[in-house]
Every structure is written in structure tokens, then in C-alpha cells.
Amino acid sequence: MKVLTIKISSSWVLSHRDDDDFPLERLAEALKEGVPPSMYSEWDVQLLTLQVNVGVDWTKDEWQKRVQEKMQALFSDWKDSGLEVSLCEDGEDEDDEPDPFDAFIEDEDLDEEPTPPPAPTAESKQPAVNKPLMMMELDSGKKEEKWSLNEEKVQERIKKIDALMGAEEFKELAKELVAIAPQIVENKTFEIFSYQSYLFSINNGFGLTTCLQAFAELLNEIHIQAVRTSDIKEIVLPAPKGEAEDVFDSARGALRVKPSSGQDVICLDISEWMAHLESRPFRNFLEFVEGQVGAHIIVFRVPFVDREVLERIRSALNDIMYVRPVAFPPLGIEDLVAWGAKELDKYGFQLAKEAKPYLQERLMMERSDGKFYGLNTVRKVVRELLYKKQLRNARKKRITKTISATDAKLICGELNKKLTGEQMLAEMVGGEKMKEQIASIISQIEMSREEGANAPCIHMRFSGNPGTGKTTVARIIGKILKEKGLLRIGNFYEYAGRDFCGRYIGETAPKTASMCRDAYGSVLFIDEAYSLYRGEGNDRDYGREAIDTLIAEMENHRHDLVVIMAGYKDEMETLMQGNSGLASRMPYLIEFPNFTRDELYQIFENMSTKKWQCEKGYLEEAKAYFDRLPDSVLKSKEFSNARFVRNLYERAWAKAMLRCQLNKGSAKTLTRDDFVRAAADKEFAFNEKKKNRLGFYEE
């Protein structure tokens, strides 16, 4: 552990006397951003000096560079601050020379046994407690120690916890601890309380570190335990390796380190062991953990799972120690948008009402690829939005702190509000039979609603090859249903089938339910839905659990949720045959045929002429190219139809950009040579005499 010391001049501090916070207070907060709490500890922030213990093995120059970057970001006049940065071992001065008398230490002194510590007494075995005692004068004139809380500070902690999004059980726990604290102090039952551990059921990216920090601060403030709030440890237990117990070495090492004062909060992520809680290695490790409980506050962590599974985990842990479960349900999309608005507010920016749909659209895009990291992803999006907003301000030479709809469009693109859903459907190339079928379905729904009859089930299944327009049509259906008042919200949520499956036992059902909950009043589109079903006998596959949850959600919210499953025709038939409950709830089957040569060319022409000028030779060459596409290509199951067209168009666009860069011209026109060079690339070239299964050249 080293001590980082930062000094600034008094005259510069005086020049910032009107700031809301002292400069070093702002610097301390900036240094904490984006790094784990274990990076710094023991902060001592004074008016002119900041000292902090640092645990990262950086040189003085590296620390100085980091501090200067933060100062530059915070203060435009930072160069006048007289900034000094030093780094030394704890207890030493960086500039101290070695003591010459150290060389004369006798060897026998080094070999002497250290004086043994005094034998522990009953009192010394008690856990460290931050005693809130104060001398109170009684009516008799005598003085007596009485327990007292700083109510103002306690309420600050509770207010901070109440400000968290969701986390209702955690908030209840915090209030419970405040209520029980006087009893624990009065009865001196600190030891009993200190042996209570916790089981947090919370997904990655939804504030685990923030909750642990708030928890430690509250315990310290209500004085039932002295907790070190600056060194919270989060340890992920590696996946099981047979009967090997060396996977626990890192956790054992952290638990063996007992702080000299107070207790550490140590969070053990046991997600990989949820199916192995009764194994010999884990039981042995659990016994070791129980022996360390008095010295640490132990919090076990698993992902958010259903209550039955959480209780099973708690029961397994509770065999050895008392464990309190606390569940943190995932935040819905509206909660995430609200949290993003709060993050913007921290920087002094406000999110206009008209901008919220765009932020929501971007967050839905982030969630739909199955790689969503909760509040961390929201924070990333907010930072991107703030950067683009300020860049726009700079270019416009103005200062506005309201995020408008125009600002928000910069992070998600234009929402198509110019055309109605029916107009968008009509403008699509091809698919006339499909369009008629959709119009018939929507008319049936409208008529049923008008007559007051039970609304028909409107869940659908789309079958067809890639690139035939399934996703686009699903989006349009949501828009049409919204415009006709048949859906409350009309948003579009897109996932792949396997996105609904969790990694651990008990994770799939709540994960699927959460994704459905986001889509209430909207369209839930599941691409490659057949991947949810892998045949009978796959008891360890979580797809079956996801399907069962989907069926329940589709039935319980049939009036306020449209589920559309899509995939290859044969695989979708297999999925429905293997799940009679699913097939009965999805009565509408819409087939998407492959595009014809003329339709493929028309799609290509629409893409090319939307933003470019096109030479006559460019379009003629493209028409000839699509006319020459062999049947073996068009009828192939792997042919990606409109996706293939888009890839070809983007390749021609890239060739045009390269041409303009080399010629130092502007890219406004697509030429015949641009298309010829694009079509010559391997994935687009074909030859009827020698072709692979897609009809393209083999090498």
C-alpha cells in the first residue's frame, strides 16, 4: 500500500471560493470515477492537501498523469493551482533518505522471536463496534453513558438508499436495521448480529457495488458494527473443476486478512456454484467462510432467480450460517430511461419529454442483442449522448443544457413518424399475399374490439428464409396496432430465441418474464425462435423453461402483448409440433417467400437512390447482375435475400468512398465502376459452371 499525496496552493483555492465544493473534494470524486473501490482507501481530504492509500502498482509519473488529466477536465485554470503530486510507502516520506544506522542492525536482532500478543479476553473476542456512546448528565447530577444516533446522518443514508431504482427488499432491510439498532446496543447483542450473512439475488450491472457501499455506510452510521467503507471486496468464485478445491484459494486468502479495526464487507459471487451447493469442495469452503464471519460481513451473490430457487440456495447456505436473502428484481425499460435521466441531471443536463422515446429506442437496441449490462450500459449511452450534445453545442456556438429530441436522435437514428404503418407496409417491395393476410388479421382484431367480443389471440409466427422482411414487417405491425388503438405503446422488442435462456438454474423464468414485462403494450419479436426447442430428452436445456414462461405470459397478457416468433419454415413447424400449448396460442402463420430477381433489383435501386445520385451505367449494371443470379442461389436456404442486397449496396458505397478519398473528391455519385468492383468481391461473384452451395466462386 502506498500513499498518494496531492497539494495545491492556497491562492488558487481562494480563487475558487465561489465554487459549490472545494477543489480537492471535486478532484477526489473524479478520481473515484470508473475504478473499483479497492483502488483507493482511507481518503483524507483537506483544504490544500489530499492523501489517499492507493493499491495499484503505478509509478509516480503514472499517478501524476492521471491526476493532471482529472484536474484539466475539472478546472480550466488548473495550471495555476501549484499542483504537486508525490507517492511514497505508507508511513514514509517520498524524499526521505535511508537511515544510515540501519546498516548496523545486528543479525541476532533479526532472528529474535517477536513478543507474543496478550491472550485474548472475552471482551476482545467481541466484534468491533462503532460505539455511539456519549456522556449524559442525569437529574441526580451523575453522569452516565447513553446510546445516541446522529439522526440527520442516518436519514441521509436512508435517503441515499431510497433513491436507488427498484431494490425494494434492500430498502426494507435498511429500515429494519435502523429500527433494530437501539435494541442491539441496549442488549449488547453485537456478536449475534455480526454473525448474520446475506444473499443478494441481483443481475450484473444493476448496482451491486453501489448497494454494498450504501449497506456498509449504513451499518457504520447506526453503530451496530464498525465497518470499513473504503475497501469492499467483490470476489467471483471460478467454475467448479471436479473435486479440486484450489478454485477457492483467492477467496480464502481475502477472508484470512482480518482488518486491524472494524470489519470488511466481502461479497462472494457463487453463481457458478448454484448447481453444486451440496458438493464436497463447496461445503468445505462454506465451513471455512463460517469461521471468518465474525471478522467480516459476508454477502453471497447470485443472479436474479425465482423465489423458489433463491430459497433453495438460502437453505443450502443456511445449514452452516444464518443467511438473509434479499432480491433485486431487474429494472424495466421505463425505469432505465428514468435512471438515464437522473444520470444526465448529475451533469446539469435535463432530458426533454420529446427526447425520451429516442433514449428508450437506443436502450431497447442495446438490450435486443442479448449483451446488456444493466446500468453500466445506460451510463455508457448517457456519456455518448452528452458528448454528442456538447459537440453539437460547440458547432452551433451555443450553450443549452436541455437534451432535445434532435439531440437524442444522434444516438439512435430517426424514428419514422412521417409515414403511417399501413403506408410503410404498402411501400414494401413484394409480399402481396403477406400484406393481404396482415390487413385481414388487423381487421378481425378491430371488429372484435368494436363488437365488445373477447379479443382474439393475436400472437403470430413468421416463417421464411433470412432477409425476407420478417423483422421489418413485425415492426410495422406494432406501429399499425398502436395507430389503431389496439396496443397501448406499440414499441418493438427484438431478441434471439436463446436470449431468453439463463446460464444457471432458476435464472431463465425470471429473465423471460422480465423481457415480456418490458414488452407489455408492445410487440415482442423472437427471431430464430426454433432454437428454444432442442427436442425431447434435453432436461438440462433451459429452452423448455423459457417456452413455458412465454406461454404463461402470452395467455395472461393476450390483450396487451403481441408475441411474434420467426424462423425457417421447417424448424418453426418442429417447434410448434413439440409444443402444443405454444401452437394453440399462435394461430396466425404468415409465410415470407424469397424475393424474385426483379424484387431484389428494386430493393437495391431504392437503397442506392435514397441518398446518392446514380449514373445510368450503375443501375444498368446492377439490373444485369440480378438478372443473372442463378436459381441455385435464389432457392438456397442460406441465401439472405434483402440482407444480401444490402451487403452488396454497402460494398458499392464503400468502393465509391474509397474512390473519392483517393481522388480527393466528394462522394455524391455512384458509378458503374463502383458496382463492378463491388460485385467482383468473393461473396458476390458467382459462376454457374463452378459454384458452391450458394452459387459463389470457390477457391
Residue 180 has pLDDT above 70, yes or no: yes
347, 360: one domain: yes
* pLDDT, position 699: 39
Helix (H) / strand (E) element for 45: namely strand 40-45
What's the average model confidence in pLDDT over 380-400? 92
Instruction: List the Cα angle 331/337/340 in 5-degree steps.
Output: 105
Total number of domains in the chain? 5
Q: Which letter does DSSP use for residue 696 in this model?
A: B
Q: Is 38 left (phi over 0), alpha (psi -120 to 50) or beta?
A: alpha
Q: Would you tell me how many other CB atoms lie within 10 Å of the CB of residue 453?
A: 9
Domain check: are 490 and 564 in the same one? yes
**Is residue 211 scored above 80 in pLDDT?**
yes
Q: How confident is the model at residue 18 (pLDDT cuts 50, 70, 90)?
A: low
- The percent of residues above 70 in pLDDT, for the chain, comes to 84
Q: What is the pLDDT at residue 52?
A: 86
Q: Which residues pair with 265 in a beta bridge?
A: 297
Could you list the residue range(s) of the whole structural domain that residue 644 is in? Answer: 597-679
Which residue is it, cell 440456495? 313
Task: Classify residue 484: in a domain, yes or no.
Answer: yes
The number of helix segments (H) and strand segments (E) in the chain equals 27, 20
What are the backbone angles phi and psi of residue 500, rounded to the nearest 5°? Answer: -80, -15
Residues 615 and 588 in one domain: no
Cell 535511508, residue located: 98
Assess whether 175 and 321 both reside in one domain: yes
- Which residues have a Cβ under 8 Å from the Cβ of 418 and sit 6 or more positions away? none
**Would the pTM count as exceeding 0.85?**
no
Question: Is residue 107 pLDDT above 70, yes or no?
Answer: no
Which residue from 175, 179, 182 is spatially nearest to 146, judged by alpha carbons? 182
Pair (266, 299) in one structural domain: yes
Q: How far apart are CA 558 and CA 486, in angstroms?
A: 12
Burial class (CB in 10 A: 0-12, 13-18, 19+), 632: middle
What confidence tens digit (pLDDT) does each residue in 249-295 have?
989 998 888 876 678 899 999 998 988 899 999 999 999 999 888 78
State residue 120's pLDDT score. 45
Distance CA 626, CA 629 (A): 5
Residues 287 and 391 in one domain: no
* Interatomic CA distance for residues 569 and 616, integer angstroms: 39
53 inside domain? yes
Check whether residue 454 and residue 500 sit in a common domain: yes
Q: What is the pLDDT of residues 285-319, one digit of tens each?
A: 999 999 888 788 999 999 998 888 899 999 999 98
Give the span between the Cα atoms of 176 and 197, in whole angstroms.
15
pLDDT at 140 over 70: no
**What is the distance between the alpha carbons of residues 467 and 643, in angstroms, rounded to a whole number?**
5
Cell of 508: 431463465
3-state secondary structure of 270: coil
Q: Which residues contact 696 (CB under 8 A, 6 or more apart)?
A: 633, 682, 683, 684, 685, 686
Residues 547 and 612 in one domain: no
CATH assignment of the domain containing 58:
3.30.70
What are 518-567's pLDDT values in tens digits? 888 889 999 989 888 766 655 556 888 899 899 989 988 888 899 999 99
**Residue matched to cell numbers 396496432:** 481
Q: What is the pLDDT of residue 95?
A: 47
Residue 155 and residue 289 share a domain: yes
